[in-house]
Chains A and B, each alone.
Chain A
Amino acid sequence: MIKINNLSKIFRTDLIETHALRQINLQVNEGEFAALTGPSGSGKSTLLNVLGTLESFDQGDYLLDGRSVKGLSDRELSALRNEKIGFIFQGFNLIKDFSLFDNIELPLRYRGFSSTERKRRVEQALETVGLAARRDYHPSQLSGGQQQRVAIARAIAGEPRILLADEPTGNLDSLMARQVMELLEKINQQGCTILMVTHDPDQARRANRHIQIVDGQLNDSSMYEPLAAGA
C-alpha cells in the first residue's frame, strides 16, 4: 500500500536546516491499522504530510499503491489526495459556515461525482459516524468529538484506500476519544488502511502495529514487529 525508501525531509529556513525525516524506510500494508508515536518534534506530522502529499520530500522514494508520487503533476497529485487518501487533522479543519453535509460533500465535488452520487455518499458517511440526523447542522453546533466524526466522515466519503490521521483524538476528552477510536477501528475493519499519529499509549496498543519515530528516524525494533492479523 505504502512503501518509502530512504526518504529524507529537510526544512530550510534562513538560518537553520531541520532534518525532520532522516532516511526513513517504511512499508504499510493493505488493511493495517498502524499507530505512529514519538516525542514532540520527532517528525510524526511531517511524515504524515509527506505520505498525504501535502508536503514534498528531498530524498528517497515514495510509492503509493505501487506508483511513485515523484514527478506527478499538480492535477495528478490532487486526484491522488482526493481519491486514495483521507486526511484527518487534529484540529478537525471543518469549514465553519458550511453545514455538515456541505463539508463532507466538498472533496466529492472535486472528484466530479454527480449530485445524486454525492448525496448517497455523504449520507452513507454520516450514517457511519452516527450523525445522520444532523446533516444540516453547522460545525459550531457540535461537540468536539462530533466535529471530529464529521471530519472522519469527510475523509471516508470518498472511500479512500488509506486514512491518515494526525492525532485525531488530541483535542478530545477520553470518552469522546474512545468513541472516535472505535469509529476508526470500525472503518479499518471495513478494509481501509489507517495510519494514525497518537500520543496515547493505550491507543497505540489497540492498533495492530506500532511504529515509533525519534528525531526523524524510525525505531528499528518496531519496524519489523510481526504483524498481528486482525485485532
Chain B
Amino acid sequence: METLIHNLKLSWHSIQRAPLPYALTLLILSLGLGTFFSNATLYYWMNRDPIPEKSQTLFMARLNSLPGDCTDCFEPPRVISYMDVQKMSGSGITSAEAAMFSSNAYAKTLENQQATPSQVELRVTQRDFFKLFNVPFLQGETWPDNKARMEVVISKNTAIKFFSRTDVVGQDMLLDDKLYKVIGVLDDWSMLPRLYDVNGRRSAEPAEDIYIPLETAYDLAIQSNTQNSFTDVDWDGNMATYPQMARTNFANMLQFWVQLDSPEKVQQYQQFLKNLVQDEKAAGRHPRPEGNKLDNILDIQKAMRATNDQLDAFALVASLFLLVCVVNASHLSLNRYMANQYEFSLRRALGASRWQLQSQIMADVLLSSVLAFAAALVFAQLGLWTINSLLPGTRALASWDWQMLGVMALFVVLVSYLVTLYPALKTSFSPLNQQLKQ
C-alpha cells in the first residue's frame, strides 16, 4: 500500500516533468475511448434483452391474409388487420395476448380546461399489455376486459405532469376533447429497447404516456401514427362509418403479441395458426400461401428488418477510431518513456528488479486510467449528445448503469495498459550502462 502511494507519487512527478506530452497522450486516448463508449452505449442498449425474465415466452404473431392472388408472397405484412387479430385471439393457448399500435393526442385535465393541451404519446392496446411486458402498476389496475371503455392507464410521469401527484385513479382527463377516466397509474417503467414496437425503428424511443383500449380507439377513429396499410378498402371517408370499415377491412395497423409459456405451447399455437389458415382457405379467403410468423421478441428486429444499420456503421467507425487513437497514444507514450529512460536505468542500477519497475509502470497505468476514464466519460457524453441529435430515435439510450460503468472502467485500464505495455517493456529491457554514462 505504502509502495503504491509512493509509486503514484512518482507517476505524478513524471507527469509534472512533461505535462504537455502527457496531456496530449491522455487527450488522444480519451477521445478514442469516449467515441467508442458513446457507440458502445447505444449498441449495448439496442442489443440487450429488455425483459430477460420472460423474453423466451414473448412472440409476435402475423398472418399472411392479405387479399389478392400472389403465389410468391410468403411474407406477411408488418402490421395486421383487426380481423386477423380477432381470429388469432382467444385460442386458449396463450397466457396473455394483446394487439396494439401507437398514436398520439392532445391532452389536458378537466380541472384545468383553460390550459393549452399538450401532446402525449398513446399506446392503443388491450388488457393483457401490462401483463405481457411486466409493466408495474403504482395505482389501480388494467381494464377488466377488452371492451371499449373511456378509461385510460397513464404513466407516472404523465400523472405528475398533469395532476402534480400520482394518486389520480378516478380522475378525468381530456384526450382530443374526449373525456376519459384514469383507472391506473404505472410505476416508473421503461423497456429498452422497446421491442414491442420495432416497426419504423421506434424501439429506442421512451415508453408511451397514456394507454387506451383498442376498441375505444376503433370507435373513435384513432389511427396508428406508425403504419396504416389499407388494401382493397372501399371507404368514402365518412368518419361515421370508420369503426365499421376499420374492423371489417384490410385496414392493417396492428401488432399482435402473445405469451407462450413453453415450447409445447409455441408448437400448439403454431398449429392453431395453421388450422386457422386452412379454415380460412376452405372458406374462400386467405388467397396467398400460408406465411404465418411467430417471431420471438429477441428476433423481432431482424424479422421486421428494423435493425439499426446506422448504429452498426457508427460502431465500426468508432472501433477503428479507437484503434488509431491507441496506436498514436502508444507512440506518444513511448516517447515519454524514452525521455525517462535514464531514470529507469538508474533505478535498475540502484537495484530495482524488472518487476519493481513494472509495479511503477502499473502505477502510471492506474493514474492514467483514472484520468482517461474521467475524460472519456465527458467525451462519451458529448458523443451521445451528438448521435442523439443526429438520430433522434436513440434519445432514450444515453444513460449508463453501474454495470456498464464498471465494464468501461475495466476497459480503460486495459487500453491504458496496452498503451504502456510496449514502452514499458522496452524501457525495462534496454541495456543499463548506456544511459548512465551520460
Contact = CB atoms under 8 A, between A and B. Distances in A.
Interface string A76-103: 0011111100010111010101100000
Interface residues of B, number: 24
A107 interface: yes
Interface in A25-84: 45, 49, 52, 54-55, 74-75, 78-83
Contact of B351 (A91, A95, A98, A111): A111
Contacts of B20: none
A45 B438 CA distance: 12
Closest 5 CB pairs of A and B: A82-B351, A78-B353, A91-B438, A107-B350, A81-B351
Given A90-B438, A97-B16, A109-B3, A54 B432 contact: yes
Interface of B: 2-3, 6, 13, 16-17, 343, 346-356, 431-433, 436-438
Given A54-B432, A54-B433, A78-B356, A87 B349 contact: yes
Given A45-B433, A110-B353, 7 more contacts: A78-B356, A79-B351, A81-B349, A81-B351, A93-B349, A98-B13, A109-B6
Given A54-B433, A89-B436, A74 B350 contact: no
A154 interface: yes
Contacts of B432: 49, 54-55
Contacts of A54: 348-349, 432-433, 436
A97 B353 contact: no
Contacts of A45: 433, 437
* Size bin of chain A's contact surface: 20 to 34
B354 A107 contact: no
Contacts of A79: 351, 353
Contact of A110 (B13, B343, B352): B352
Nearest to B432: A54
Given A109-B3, A110-B353, A93 B436 contact: yes
A111 B347 CA distance: 12
B352 A78 contact: yes
A41 to B, nearest CB: 13
A115 interface: yes
A97 B437 CA distance: 20
B343 A75 contact: no
Contacts of A75: 353, 355
Nearest to B343: A95
Contacts of A98: 13
A148 B411 CA distance: 46
B214 to A, nearest CB: 74
12 contacts: A45-B437, A49-B432, A49-B433, A54-B349, A78-B353, A78-B354, A87-B349, A97-B13, A97-B16, A97-B17, A109-B3, A110-B353
A106 interface: yes
B409 to A, nearest CB: 29
Contacts of A115: 2
A91 to B, nearest CB: 4
Interface string A134-159: 00000000000000000000100010
A80 B354 CA distance: 14
A95 B346 contact: yes
A208 B85 CA distance: 109
B249 to A, nearest CB: 83
